[in-house]
Amino acid sequence: MRGSRAHSLVLILIMVILLPGYEALAFQVILTEPVRRNTGGPAAEPLQLGASLMKTLSKGQTHRFTVVLQAEEIAQVVVDQRGIDVLVRVQSVDGKPLGEFDSPNGATGPENVSVVAVTAGSYVVEVTPLAQNQDVPSGTYEIRLVTVRHATSQ
């Protein structure tokens, strides 16, 4: 199965070279492929502006999402906790930690996360239970990309 995915991407790239009119379609397919961390970690789901995802999270799990930004753009992501206290981490395009977010609102309410792009690319947002060493029950959360705009000096 893995080999067939690689072959389909190669075919798409060949279409771009042979049929320039299909360039936008080919690039869209490539950009929406799941992003994998260099360490072979789990696939990351792309966050789309205005769309929300409902997820169930348990102890020991980490959910990964990507936000594609241009240089000097800022994205606002909201993680609405519904029964589980989460920690949200953001990583740069090259995998370096940019920040951790945890508001003192416990297992309910929003975690507001801002991502400022220094360089263009896919930024990773990870959601994990805050209490990793305790026996906490599973809970749900909703994650959504609220805004993407050009960053200003304000």
Q: What is the pLDDT of residues 37-93, one digit of tens each?
A: 434 456 899 999 999 999 999 989 999 999 999 999 999 999 999 999 999 999 999
Same domain, 71 and 130: yes
Q: Are residues 106 and 67 in the same domain?
A: yes
pTM for this model (two decimals)? 0.72
CA 144, CA 124: separation in Å to the nearest integer?
Answer: 14
Q: Are 27 and 51 in a shared domain?
A: no
Please indicate, yes or no, if residue 36 is contained in any of the structural domains. Answer: no
Q: Are residues 13 and 50 in the same domain?
A: no
40 domain-assigned: no
pLDDT at 41: 55
Is the C-alpha dihedral spanning 94, 154, 50, 64 positive or negative? positive
Count structural domains, the chain.
2
